[in-house]
Amino acid sequence: MQFITRLVKNESFPGVLLIIFTALALLCQNTPFLSAIYENFLHLEIGINVSGANEHSATVSKSLVHWINDGLIAIFFFCIGLELKYEILRGQLRDIKSVSLPIFGALGGMIFPALIFTSINSHDSFAMQGWAIPTATDIAFAVGILMLIKGIPTSLKLFLLSLAIFDDFGAIVIIALFYTSELSLFAILVCVLCVALLFLLNYYHVSKLPFYCIIGFILWVAMLESGVHATLSGVIAAIFIPIDTKNNESFAKKIYNDLNPWVMYLILPLFAFANAGVDLKGLDLSYLLSSVSLGIFLGLFLGKQLGVFLFSFISVKLKLASFPKDASYVQFYGICILTGIGFTMSLFIDTLAYADNLGAYAQADKLAILLASFSSAILAYVYLKLTSKEKN
């Protein structure tokens, strides 16, 4: 039992868990007697009845994989929102120059991959729907790899965490702006009402969690029906969670600490298991060299590290941001390589981008994400291991 406790408390364990569940997904999808069970499990229909007035009563029925992608991931984004709010108001991001570096890095890490993907796929309007796929970074996986390496300055760990938070916030904005379907006016009005209620709860420092849970759930259902992606509800709800109660007791931090283990040890591994099952049996190697696959791979593997480093370097030289303490540019570049681990976030955007025809690229788009993510992870690990030894 002590071994299991130590393992779970290890900061690298969430990243290791993601690798295990990814391997399980690939194994299940590509083993003849398991693939049918795996597919049936993911497409199991689950419905909930949402009662309303008259004709506005509705039953929301979706497959398990959709509940994971639309529901559980909203909880993940809720945690991201709580963490970002706390760090800006009370944590490491209070100082403008400290917060500027990860913001500039995140911008570069989104702009460069998008430009690379666009330059390769500009001739194909359907392929261009995936321009945002290589712009994402997987927090759990990247931090998990970093924690495997000793001798990394704390300031660089904080930089990676902060950058990943802003990167995910950018992904949320992209999803809201570019991956929404037809809008439902009634559902949007319900969303507005929920936001107004959350604002009032925050304004009066209400610290009764059930109120936030009930309104947050209604907001999520309304957003699910509105056409705007439901994951956005997680961030909106987080914005209105009070940092402290009227008695100056930490409220947001307690919620975050209670939820975070569930996110890291259940939600993200389950998401990886549901989305990383690339069918290698039907893979056409010609698709692996298609413009979409190349755009995703080069965007993640090269675009992320170059974009993050160059934007960060320029912002420091222009004195718009401060460089992490006790760190060198050699080590800093290793952190930039880690941002190429798009994994779960890139897989998520991929399912949204090509939702109309998920098999359009014969799974090569997903495989490109996995290859780029694992290549970035391996290169970053070896690079940081060598540079840390040299410094020591």
Three-state SS string over 267-321 comes to: HHHHHHHHHCCCCCCCCCHHHHCCHHHHHHHHHHHHHHHHHHHHHHHHHHHCCCC
* Positive or negative: CA dihedral 164, 166, 168, 174: negative
Q: How far apart are CA 313 and CA 268, in angstroms?
A: 32
pLDDT of residue 375: 95
The owner of tokens 């965007």 is 299
**pLDDT (0 to 100) of residue 354:** 84
pLDDT at 264: 85
Between residues 366 and 50, the one the model is more confident about? 366
What does the alpha-carbon distance between residue 304 and residue 203 come to, in Å, rounded to a whole number? 39
Q: Tens digit of pLDDT for each residue in 49-65?
A: 665 555 555 566 778 88
Query: Residue 290: which pLDDT band, with cuts at 50, 70 and 90?
Result: confident
**How many CA atoms are closer than 13 Å to the CA of 76, on its beta-carbon side?**
28
pLDDT of residue 7: 46
User: What percentage of the chain carries pLDDT values higher than 70?
Assistant: 88
pLDDT for the residue numbered 111 = 96
Give mean pLDDT, residues 101-123: 95
- Three-state SS at 50: strand
Residue 169 structure tokens: 């916030």
Average pLDDT over residues 60-85: 85
Residue (of 139, 174, 173, 141) closest to 159 by Cα position: 139
At 33, list the tokens: 């007697």
Q: What is the pLDDT of residues 205-223, one digit of tens each?
A: 888 899 999 999 999 999 8
Number of alpha carbons in the 13 Å side-chain half-sphere of residue 338: 32
Indicate if the pLDDT at residue 201 is higher than 50: yes
Closest CA to 374 of 344, 348, 331, 353: 344
Q: Where are the domains positioned within the chain?
A: 10-45+62-180+229-387
Residue with tokens 């992320």: 304
120-129, 134-143, 233-242: segment of lowest average pLDDT: 134-143
CATH fold, domain 10-45+62-180+229-387, is Na+/H+ antiporter like fold (1.20.1530)
60 strand-pairing partners: 48
Mean pLDDT for the chain overall: 84
Retrieve residue 54's tokens. Answer: 């008259």
pLDDT of residue 4: 44
Q: What is the pLDDT of residue 16?
A: 81
pLDDT at 391: 57
pLDDT at 2: 47
Residue 69: pLDDT band (50, 70, 90) is confident
Between CA 308 and CA 383 the distance in angstroms is 17
Q: Tell me the mean pLDDT in the region 139-166.
A: 81
Residue 122 confidence class, pLDDT cut points 50, 70, 90: very high
pLDDT exceeds 80 at position 356: no
Provide the pLDDT for residue 3.
Answer: 42
pLDDT at 55: 55
- How many helical (H) and strand (E) elements, i.e. helices and strands, does the chain have? 19, 2
- Does residue 315 surpass a pLDDT of 60? yes
In this predicted structure, what is the pLDDT of residue 37? Answer: 92
- Helix (H, G, I), strand (E, B), or coil: what is residue 61? strand
Say yes or no to pLDDT of 285 above 90: no
